[in-house]
Amino acid sequence: MAVSRLDYHTTGTDCWRLDTGLNRPQHTACYLLHDAGELALIDTGTSNNIPALLETLRALGFSASQVRWILPTHVHLDHAGGAGALLAQCDNATLATHHLGLPHMIDPDRLQQGAMAVYGEAMFNKSFGKLVPAADDRCLALHDGDLVELGRHELLFIDTPGHANHHGCFFLEPKASLYTGDTFGLRYEALDHDGKPWLMATTTPVAFDPERWMQSLDTLMALKPNRACLTHFGPLDNPMTWQAQLRQSIQDHVEIALQEEKSGDREGRKERLAQALMKKMLSRLEEHNPQQDRKLAEALLQDDIHLNSQGLEIWLIRREKKRADSPG
């Protein structure tokens, strides 16, 4: 498991980015925090990568018994699929996540069935492995404003719906560092240009809510963070500088979905959404970097576009149902 040390302070909190290896290198991260002998893992990756994660802890000079907190930002399986398996290996740990997502950690059957519907059974087994239920007496439901103590410092939990209704971010105030899961979008270093990142929204099924997402970004930016640590992928300095780009990407997704909605044709909708998204994202990338390698960009974004189109399709179905249920 590839490791990058992000911070080292003899009187503060140490942080490492761990590459879980899901899908490809530099795609999915989790973050290891150390303070006064205690460890926290923000996101875990999948059950398949837990043996490598534990070996990485040992290589860094730590033990599983030092893990105090397992902190999924939300329960999508690339972020939390390994949480139950990790909890079973860490005797002193507590699993803490959003109160709406926690029941799916304790009883992951519905989570597994939903993920299989999205990915297919074969891909699910290859990518995510077996989901291990988390012992409910070792779990903690988090609400907006809760504090998680780690060594000499605290992590603030912030309710951040938009990508998912059970999404939360963690804020380490002494360093003004945000651990953002998917709320600050996707950023792949291979698409950076001239020292500038390129950000894309992630609208994976099933709870995309653009209005609440914008509100969540307002909440996060009010903290004036110095750094956003994205699960996909890695730390991003000065996130306030780049937030407009992410907001534009959210709006691009909305506009593409609403344009598709006007057709009234649900047959083949997901495929048309995917085609329109890829076209728009490649156009945005060319604005970002006129010399962008188009084939590389398509390869990097293909899976994300596929999932985003599924999420937008579900969002449109929810809109249609809401209109149908509205009186008058």
- pLDDT tens for each residue of 231-273: 999 999 999 999 999 999 999 999 999 999 998 888 999 999 9
Domain ranges within the chain, ordered by starting residue: 3-245, 248-320
Paired residues of 75 in beta bridges: none
Tokens of 169: 């971010």
Tens of pLDDT, residue by residue, the chain (328 residues): 999 998 756 567 899 999 999 989 999 999 999 999 999 999 999 999 999 999 999 999 999 999 999 999 999 999 999 999 999 999 999 999 999 999 999 999 988 887 788 778 888 888 888 899 999 999 999 999 999 999 999 999 999 999 999 999 999 998 899 999 999 999 999 999 999 999 999 999 999 999 999 999 999 999 999 999 999 999 999 999 999 999 999 999 999 999 999 988 889 999 999 999 999 999 999 999 999 999 999 999 999 999 999 999 999 999 999 888 877 5
Nearest to 15 by CA among 222, 210, 211, 228: 228
CA-based nearest residue to 12, from 173, 237, 145, 180: 173
What is the structure's pLDDT at 245? Answer: 97
In the prediction, which pLDDT does 125 show?
83
Q: Where are the beta strands (DSSP E) in the chain?
A: 3-7, 14-19, 29-35, 38-42, 67-71, 94-98, 139-142, 147-150, 153-159, 168-172, 177-181, 186-187, 199-200, 227-230, 234-237
Length in residues, the chain: 328
**Sequence-distant (≥ 6) Cβ neighbours of residue 303 within 8 angstroms:** 23
CA atoms within 13 A on the CB side of 294: 8
Of 240, 176, 160, 162, the closest CA to residue 7 belongs to: 176
Which structure tokens are listed for 230? Answer: 């994205």
For position 113, what pLDDT does the model report? 86
pLDDT on residue 111: 84
For residue 5, give Cα distances in angstroms to 1, 99, 188, 234, 246.
13, 31, 18, 11, 26
Residue that has been written with the tokens 């980015």 in this structure: 17
In this prediction, residue 234 carries a pLDDT of 93
- Please say whether the beta carbons of 82 and 57 come within 8 A: no
8 A C-beta contact, residue 248 and residue 200 = no
Domain 3-245 has CATH 3.40.50.300: no
For 229, the token pair is 């640590």
Give CA–CA dist 82/70, Å, rounded: 10
**How deeply is 175 buried, as exposed, middle or buried, from its count of CB atoms within 10 A (0-12, 13-18, 19+)?**
middle
The 10s digit of each residue's pLDDT in 68-117 is: 999 999 999 999 999 999 999 999 999 999 999 999 999 999 888 877 88
